[in-house]
Structure 1
Amino acid sequence: MLAVAAIGTLSALTIVGRQTGHFNLSRLILDVTVGLVACGLILVLGRRPVQGALALAVLAAISPAATPPSTVGTLTVAQRRPLKLAILVALAGIAGHLVQWIWRPTQGLSLLWYVILDVAVHAALLSWGQWTQARRALLDSLRERALRAETEQGRRVAEARALERTKMAREMHDVLAHRLSLLATYAGALEYRPDSAPEKLSQAAGVIRTGVHQALDELREVISVLRDSEIDELPGGRPQPTFADLRGLVEESREAGTQITYDEAVTAPESLPPATGRTAYRVVQEGLTNARKHAAGRPVSVRVDGRPGGSLEIVLTNPGGNGVPLTPGNGTGLVGLTERVQLAGGTLNHGRTRGEFRLHASLPWPA
């Protein structure tokens, strides 16, 4: 309403200026009426800018009181409509003002100069409106791009967190499966050898108790990871295993009673990438876990060899079991292990051949 009042004031000043020196009552009544109608049409420009601007151009041909509202109509169309349509409306405004000069010429201003000023004013209004429209479109585009980038960033962060949770859960699955299979081995020894020496029974019970505590701690860690919404580091800050930890893994399984033949022929193991060494550790860990599950008490052969510029080859073999696993399982460990090896750029093959189970992993080792 403030803008309408300002335009109405300009229209009133225009009427007064055109009446000075040659007062005409009928023209005054016409100018006032046209000015009021023109100011009322300004309210229509928000919903129907083209129709309102054309109506104002017609009123501008009748009375100079409609000149300020007509310029507002031309500017509004230039700000909201395409350039071609805005040019047509501007031409209608120019024509309306020319008709106004013809039947009510401005004293002291020739037709040529009036045409020049009329075209210049409408051209300025057209340029101003189109610039405003382009600037608004640019700001909207930048705002939309910023919103899209923010949404995309949020999606990437969520995917990264989900991937990290999955990776951590897989790590914990490998660790828990290994730990629980060791516990099952010790428990089986207690069950089938109740006549063992008391010190051996006590030692086995202590190992089981320690293993249970470790398994509970690891289970608590994986649950906290899956519940937490922020993942900044590995649960508990525990360092991840490396290739150098392979011998410790084998010794741990030997202490649990598994007969393991370990053959390592690796050239320059210190140059092995950490990620490759960690994957190799998980391969051996899963192979030993499966051997304890499905072939408890049977010997296991582990062979690891490789060199920089070639590949790291890991082969685990053990005789087939009797079909009754020591601990339940659904085969997801090997599925996850296959995915892990493939992500590392390697291959994993497993299956039964000639009465024994064979697990073969090949991991790339850049020079």
Structure 2
Amino acid sequence: MRRTHRTRRDWAVDLGLFFFAACFAAVSSQSIPVAEDLGPGWRAADQAVGGLGCAAVLLRRRRPVPLAVVLLLAGSQAHYLAGPTMVAVFTVAASRPWKATAWVAALAFAPLPVFLWQIPDMAEERAGSALTYFALIAGAIGWGLFRRSRQQLIASLRERAELAEADAESRAERARMEAREEIAREMHDVLGHRLTLLSVHAGALEFNSGAPRAEIERAAGVMRESARLALHDLREVIGVLRAGSGSASAEGERPQPELADLARLVAEARAAGGRIDLAGPPGEAAPPLVGRTAYRIVQEALTNVRKHAPGAAVDVRVTGGPGDGLTVEVRNTRPPGPDPAPAAAAVKTAGEGGGQGLIGLGERARLAGGELTAVPADGGFRVQAWLPWQS
């Protein structure tokens, strides 16, 4: 009600209140007591003032408090202003602060004590008319306060709904971000391992074209198998992406690596020419999240060794059990030779990961409730992670 530009609804409400004030004045005109000593022009003047008061109702949105004060003061002498006065005090109670409403209410009921003092000496008709007037003013103020409380409640509920909607959108956006990060980690872990094998063998064939035919055939076979597995893994990841937000069931049906698959992973790396020693894992089956996280940590660590330390010996140790947690340690020695071989340099140039792999492993470990450290050790590198394993 504070805006000065009125909508069609505002005009409809204002015109409705104008007609209410006019109709109230017309209906109550016969019950207004008239003193016998007043001249014949009194009622006409009173009606004219009442008409101006009804027209002034249209100004209630611009100056509600001054309008209410003027009508209350004039209403003590002009009886036809009762309708416009009720509209004015209702507007103040519905749209203005509590302090302004309290001052207007105090002005409206200021004559009440004097009236109650004089009521024994008043005529019954005049006393009844005055009591009705104060009751109507009190009702108008009460109705205005109720309307303001209702508006405040609606505004509060609307604000809460908007906040809830914004919070839901924020949670959905965070969920989308987490899903994208999870997919990125999955693609990095799954495809990085396969593509690194391809890069290693392709680089070896490029810089050792005179190798024996049997060795070339073995390298080509490893490249073909790695390419086939990489395409298979890529189809699985793309299938999850195409499934969208409803892919929870589809993703749960995908075969996920387990702790027992570490032996197969190490065997693939050995077939590619890596010198890897595996100790563990424990015979007891680990929880799916723990086993999958351990598998990805070893996979990424072996991929990094092939990228940055080709030819280095790798020691993989997986120990622990229920209650103690699972400890995964991947340590590689210093790569042989004073300088990296040309093939290794080609692999680093083609397959450098920018350090995102270790960051992703740290996030995986934290999501599983564990921790991961990756530091240089004795000329090589050591990746160690601890994952909780509930008994």
TM-score of the two chains, using structure 1 as the length reference: 0.85
Deviations 1:277-300 (A, max 9, x none): 111111110111112112323332
2:140 corresponds to 1:125: yes
Find the counterpart in structure 2 of residue 52 from structure 1. Answer: 67
Q: Which moved more, 1:149-158 or 1:329-338?
A: 329-338
**Residue 161 (structure 2) aligned to one of 146, 167, 184:** 146
CA distance in 2, matches of 1:43, 1:155: 45
**Residue 316 (structure 1) aligned to one of 319, 330, 339:** 330
Q: How does 1:1-367 map to 2 (within 5 A)?
A: 1-18=15-32, 25-95=40-110, 108-109=124-125, 111=127, 113-191=128-206, 192=208, 194-197=210-213, 201-202=216-217, 204-215=219-230, 218=233, 230=245, 232-233=247-248, 238-266=254-282, 268=284, 270=285, 272-321=286-335, 322-323=339-340, 324-325=344-345, 326-328=347-349, 329=352, 330-367=354-391
CA distance in 2, matches of 1:350, 1:46: 70
CA distance in 1, matches of 2:348, 2:239: 25
Q: Percent identity?
A: 38
CA distance in 2, matches of 1:117, 1:83: 25
Q: Which moved more, 1:334-343 or 1:158-167?
A: 334-343
Deviations 1:298-323 (A, max 9, x none): 33221111121112122222222244
Distance 1:265 1:20, change over 3 A: closer
Indicate if the aligned counterparts of 2:189 and 2:357 stay in contact, CA closer than 8 A. yes
Specify the SS of the correspondent of 2:59. coil
Shift of 1:171: 1.6
CA distance in 1, matches of 2:99, 2:183: 61
Q: Number of aligned residue pairs: give it.
A: 361
Specify the SS of the correspondent of 1:109. helix
Q: Which moved more, 1:318-327 or 1:21-30?
A: 21-30
Code of the aligned partner of 1:4: F
TM-score of the two chains, using structure 2 as the length reference: 0.80
Deviations 1:138-161 (A, max 9, x none): 111011101110110111111111
Shift of 1:132: 1.8
Code of the aligned partner of 1:263: A
Code of the aligned partner of 1:360: Q
Gaps of 5+ in 1: none
CA distance in 1, matches of 2:246, 2:152: 39
Indicate if the aligned counterparts of 2:370 and 2:386 stay in contact, CA closer than 8 A. yes
CA RMSD after TM alignment: 3.4
Distance 1:3 1:122, change over 3 A: closer
Distance 1:84 1:190, change over 3 A: closer
Q: Which moved more, 1:82-91 or 1:1-10?
A: 82-91
Distance 1:123 1:14, change over 3 A: closer
Specify the SS of the correspondent of 1:257. coil
Distance 1:87 1:301, change over 3 A: closer
